[in-house]
Amino acid sequence: MKANKKDRKEAISEIKFSPDDSILAVGAHDSLIKLYDATKNFALLRTIRKNLSTVSHFDFSLDGQFLVSNSTSYEILYFDVATGNQITGGASQLRNETWSTYTCHLGWAVQGIWPPCADGSDINAVDRSSEGVVTATADDFGMVKLFKHPSPVERAAFHEYRGHSSHVTNVRFLKNSPYLISTGGEDKCIFQWRYYFDRESAEASKKESLVDISNIADDLGTAKPAASPLKTQKTVKKAGEDEFEMEEVGGGDQRMAVLPFKGQVEKSKPTGFKPLPKAADKPDGNMKLLYAHGFRSFDTRNNLKYVTKDDVVFSTAALGVVLNKPTNTQKFFNMHPEDIVSLAIHPSKDIIATGQMAQAGRSKQIDIFVWRVSTMQMLA
């Protein structure tokens, strides 16, 4: 253990190292982000204030000079890491900034991830892939989704993946790796996904880019990032220049009702932005579930059985899982929308029946699925 700190009274909600690993930033429910010196036994450097409520997400710029944060008050705030001061004109001054990670769920590049009638709390986490061309999201509906990155067009198309039985609390791509990790809430599971990146298709789509890539960083890292106006001018605009704008909401519009961050989003639009028809298309790439870590046993019995001497079938979250012990690989039946709580095996040992919890609004009806082990296909 390198260090052990206990200097917060409220729960920690976000933690992240700077790109060079010299600074550890920690956000919490107390609305503060504290910066620690990782080179000096994590001594406290400074405290970043100004967020009005729980710090939900934040990201460092690629050079580690700046930090952007979201809060549960739907804020998008920018800070100077060296001083801890807020950059009140950050939305426009840092519009061409290259970010080391992109985990903020509010911002110009992730406008398209929000579903209709979202209330601002439906998406729990986002993460940009290492290639910079897709964004993964975790939502309250048990789905892991993939969108194009950036996704500045509302209601963008996506790939979605089932398996979690309740809200998904987090998603993260492993650094310089094709793997994604998702964590469930009530299902208490950790899923490992394999992301397959279609580089040829992505390169082709770049030719019809929704952004003029001569002015901003290329998603694949093939173009040099444009210099930030803040770095070249070494000035900070006066307070109030980029203050939040309140959007008037028309009758019947339930999508987050009020968007206090809308002004910041518009001002952070990169130089040379040119929306094109393919901006809202599905991303170039796909994912496959490789491994589900977890086993429901606290309220179920007899839900793990051998089908051969090498293969074990069990349930976890909303998945029927067939584990091959010699290879330690898994196959999945993923047609259930709710937690699987019962399992039965046919005498042939190639047919499985799994029952789930009652869905919301259907308390008198419980679905049972019958499927084949050898093909993982549903029979009834």
Rounded CA-CA distance 27/37 in Å is: 15
Alpha carbons within 13 angstroms on the beta-carbon side of residue 26 total 20
Verify that 79 and 191 share a domain, yes or no.
no
Looking at residue 254, the DSSP 8-state letter turns out to be -
Verify that 272 and 310 share a domain, yes or no.
no
Residue 259: per-residue pLDDT: 59
Residue ranges making up the domain that contains 313 = 296-372
Rounded CA-CA distance 90/315 in Å is: 48
Verify that 165 and 69 share a domain, yes or no.
no
Verify that 281 and 300 share a domain, yes or no.
no
Closest CA to 205 of 279, 96, 111: 279
Looking at residue 199, the DSSP 8-state letter turns out to be H
Could you tell me if residue 245 is inside a domain? Answer: no
Residue 231: per-residue pLDDT: 41
Could you tell me if residue 37 is inside a domain? Answer: yes
Domain boundary among 39, 60, 86: 86
Could you tell me if residue 267 is inside a domain? Answer: yes
Closest CA to 144 of 254, 315, 290, 275: 290
Verify that 279 and 344 share a domain, yes or no.
no
Beta pairing partners, 305: 313
Could you tell me if residue 95 is inside a domain? Answer: no
Domain boundary among 86, 117, 136: 86
Q: How many domains does the chain have?
A: 3
Verify that 280 and 333 share a domain, yes or no.
no
The pLDDT profile of the chain, 380 residues, written as one tens digit per residue, is 777 888 999 999 999 999 999 999 999 999 999 999 999 999 999 999 999 999 999 999 999 999 999 999 999 999 999 999 999 999 999 999 999 999 999 999 999 999 887 777 899 999 999 889 999 999 999 999 999 999 998 889 999 999 999 899 999 999 888 999 999 999 999 999 999 986 655 555 555 444 333 333 333 333 333 433 444 333 334 344 443 333 333 333 334 444 567 778 888 999 988 776 677 889 988 999 999 999 988 888 999 999 999 999 999 999 999 999 999 999 999 999 899 999 999 999 999 999 998 876 666 677 899 999 999 999 99
Could you tell me if residue 279 is inside a domain? Answer: yes
Rounded CA-CA distance 342/287 in Å is: 28
Most distant pair of Cα atoms in the chain: their distance:
76
Domain boundary among 23, 53, 86: 86
> Residue 148, SS3?
strand
Residue 291: per-residue pLDDT: 98
Could you tell me if residue 250 is inside a domain? Answer: no
Beta pairing partners, 345: 352
Verify that 356 and 265 share a domain, yes or no.
no
Domain at 43, CATH number: 2.40.10
Determine phi and psi for 234, rounding to 5 degrees. Answer: 55, 35
Could you tell me if residue 92 is inside a domain? Answer: no
Verify that 158 and 193 share a domain, yes or no.
yes
Verify that 136 and 200 share a domain, yes or no.
yes
Could you tell me if residue 246 is inside a domain? Answer: no
By DSSP bridging, strand 66-71 and strand 55-60 are: antiparallel
* CB environment 313-346: b (16+ within 10 A), e (fewer): bbbbbbbbbbbeeeeeebbbbbbbebbbbbbebe
Verify that 136 and 231 share a domain, yes or no.
yes
Verify that 65 and 192 share a domain, yes or no.
no
Verify that 53 and 182 share a domain, yes or no.
no
Residue 194: per-residue pLDDT: 96
Record the tokens describing residue 375, joined without a space.
Answer: 């093909």
